[in-house]
Amino acid sequence: MNSLNKSPRYISYEILLSFINKRSKLQQIINYHLTKQKLSDKDKSFITEICYGVIRNYYFIEYLINKQSKQKHINKRLKILIMIGIYQLKFLKSVPSYAAVNTSVHLSKILFPYAKGFINAILRNIDRDKINDSDIPINIQKSCPNWLYQLYINDFGSEETLNLINEQVKRPSHWIRINDDINKIMNIFSENNIDFTQYNYNTKYLSVKSLSHKIISELLSNGIIYIQSPSSGHVVDLLNPKEGDSIIDGCSSPGGKLTDMYFRCKKLKKLHSYEINYERYKLLKKNINIMSTDNISIFNKSFLECSNNNFNKILIDVPCSGTGSINKKPDIKILRKLEQYKYFNEIQTSLLNHSAKILKSGYIVYSTCSLNNLENWNIIDNFLHNNKNYKVSNISNLVPKNYIDKKGALFIKPHEHKLDGIFAVRLTKLNA
């Protein structure tokens, strides 16, 4: 069993089983397992590819299993092993079909000896079968759960929803924010044959094909670069930090937007940060220390406990469903449920109302990484109905006009803009 424990496919099996059992964030589980054993970069990459690939295509793979199996209920441990085999067969061109089948059968001989014939038959049938897309619901083809698909239909209509779910099943782009001289970093990348593309609207952002290069790891560990989508940078655009500003970041961790504010303007009067969760607070503190930022006061408590009203700008990047980040966090499709929106809405509303309570003058930026109106305009419209002393600010001079929706919000759509989905509104307090 020792050699099996070090097998990338077995480790992938362990990770996915842990994810299904615990319903915890996939990346956290991957990180835990990859640090348990000494693995090559190649093996780490393969394990990550398998785990993310299975979850990204989970509902489609599940459909194929149900189609081929006469058993109504398959043991979840066995099901995971089959899913790993199917993902290799259908999505990994680098793995020959015979290897995908044989390695899965080999693992089954050790883990489920009673089922090796069953697994072999399913995988070989799936390998031979030509899939007729017309027989499969479109949301299943794109591994979008029914509840989320219906939300998208309600918000975007059928045609746009199809474009969206087609985009969200693709591998994500890798974006980094440069905290140093951009030309120096681009020269380093060129010298080390790291392919990159500079973002059109904010040259401090680069897209790279992979984050695994040694140079990138070194730059990250020294705080010279930070993994962040330009979408988040555009939220900071709405804050427009300037010398003398006093700013609160009400939901800070892991600190991307917070540190972006700092690097844009190091002469802020005050920059306060709140994070209620202790583990996320520790991560926030670690990131701030790595980037050697000062003049940032961080508090391990809820922003709702803040009574200080000597601030002119407040950012509340509220807890949300995260549907705009499904490309890089496909586990959202499994972890989230429709009934959770009530919980998120209560938090979102309370954070926004509290911001309005403590702001003397200036504006609030409300943001989510959600694509759903339930967390976006529904919250804003309700707030404006109850707070006549606030209005939606004109942001056309702050962000690209094609990123602004009809009602004046920053709304970046993955299928249109090839970036993480982001919604943000700047709410200005009117003079009494």
In this structure, what CATH number is given to the domain that contains residue 368?
Answer: 3.40.50.150
Percent of the chain, pLDDT > 90? Answer: 86
Residue 289 lies in a domain: yes
Residue 258 CA, distance from chain mean position: 18
Average pLDDT of the segment spanning 397-410: 97
User: Do residue 253 and residue 365 come from a single domain?
Assistant: yes
Instruction: Return the minimum-mean-pLDDT range out of 10-24, 60-74, 227-241, 281-295.
Output: 60-74
Residue 157 lies in a domain: no
Q: How far apart are alpha carbons 223 and 91 in whole angstroms? A: 35
**pLDDT reported for residue 357:** 95
Residue 83 lies in a domain: yes
**pLDDT reported for residue 392:** 98
**Is 51 annotated as catalytic?**
no
**pLDDT reported for residue 4:** 59
Within 13 A of 233's CA, how many CA atoms are on the CB side?
23
Q: How far apart are alpha carbons 361 and 313 in whole angstroms? A: 8
Q: Which two tokens stand for residue 73?
A: 């209920």
| Residue closest to 368 by CA, chosen among 328, 429, 426, 421 | 421
User: Do residue 97 and residue 116 come from a single domain?
Assistant: yes
More confident residue, 272 or 132: 272
CATH number of the domain at 12, please. 1.10.940.10
Q: Which two tokens stand for residue 44?
A: 């780490």
**pLDDT reported for residue 64:** 93
**pLDDT reported for residue 6:** 75
Cα–Cα distance list, 349 to 21, 39, 113, 252, 381 (Å): 32, 45, 53, 17, 11
User: Do residue 323 and residue 191 come from a single domain?
Assistant: no
Q: How far apart are alpha carbons 250 and 303 in whole angstroms? A: 5
User: Do residue 262 and residue 399 come from a single domain?
Assistant: yes
Residue 144 lies in a domain: no
What's the whole-number average pLDDT of the chain?
A: 94
CATH number of the domain at 215, please. 3.30.70.1170
User: Do residue 211 and residue 303 come from a single domain?
Assistant: no
User: Do residue 263 and residue 332 come from a single domain?
Assistant: yes
138: left (phi over 0), alpha (psi -120 to 50) or beta: alpha
Average pLDDT of the segment spanning 281-302: 91
User: Do residue 260 and residue 364 come from a single domain?
Assistant: yes
Domain boundary among 83, 112, 136: 136
Residue 238 structural domain: 230-429
Average pLDDT of the segment spanning 168-176: 95
Backbone angles phi, psi at 177, to 5 degrees: -105, 135
User: Do residue 235 and residue 220 come from a single domain?
Assistant: no
Residue 141 lies in a domain: no
**pLDDT reported for residue 431:** 76
User: Do residue 130 and residue 183 come from a single domain?
Assistant: no
Q: Is pLDDT of 50 > 90? A: yes
| Residue closest to 34 by CA, chosen among 212, 209, 170 | 212
Residue 153 lies in a domain: no
Q: Is pLDDT of 228 > 80? A: yes
Average pLDDT of the segment spanning 343-356: 97
Peptide bond into 172 cis (omega under 30): no
Residue 24 CA, distance from chain mean position: 14
Residue 147 lies in a domain: no
Residue 286 lies in a domain: yes
How many structural domains is the chain composed of?
A: 3
Domain boundary among 211, 227, 243: 227
Within 13 A of 363's CA, how many CA atoms are on the CB side?
18
Please say whether the dihedral angle defined by the alpha carbons of residues 218, 220, 225 and 230, taken in this order, is positive or negative: positive
User: Do residue 362 and residue 261 come from a single domain?
Assistant: yes
Convert the pLDDT of each residue in 304-326 to its tens digit: 999 988 999 999 999 999 999 99
Domain boundary among 206, 227, 248: 227
User: Do residue 203 and residue 92 come from a single domain?
Assistant: no
Given the residues 144, 306, 320, 369, the one annotated as active site: 369
Convert the pLDDT of each residue in 178-197 to its tens digit: 999 999 999 999 999 999 99
Average pLDDT of the segment spanning 209-235: 94
| Residue closest to 333 by CA, chosen among 371, 368, 379, 364 | 371
Tell me the pTM.
0.94
* Confidence class for position 41, pLDDT limits 50, 70, 90: confident
* Confidence class for position 73, pLDDT limits 50, 70, 90: confident
Q: Is pLDDT of 5 > 80? A: no
User: Do residue 306 and residue 216 come from a single domain?
Assistant: no
Helices 377-386 and 340-358 sit at what angle, rounded to 10 degrees? Answer: 40
Q: How far apart are alpha carbons 158 and 152 in whole angstroms? A: 8
> Of all helices (H) and strands (E), which one includes residue 19?
helix 8-22
Cα–Cα distance list, 289 to 107, 224, 241, 269 (Å): 44, 12, 21, 20
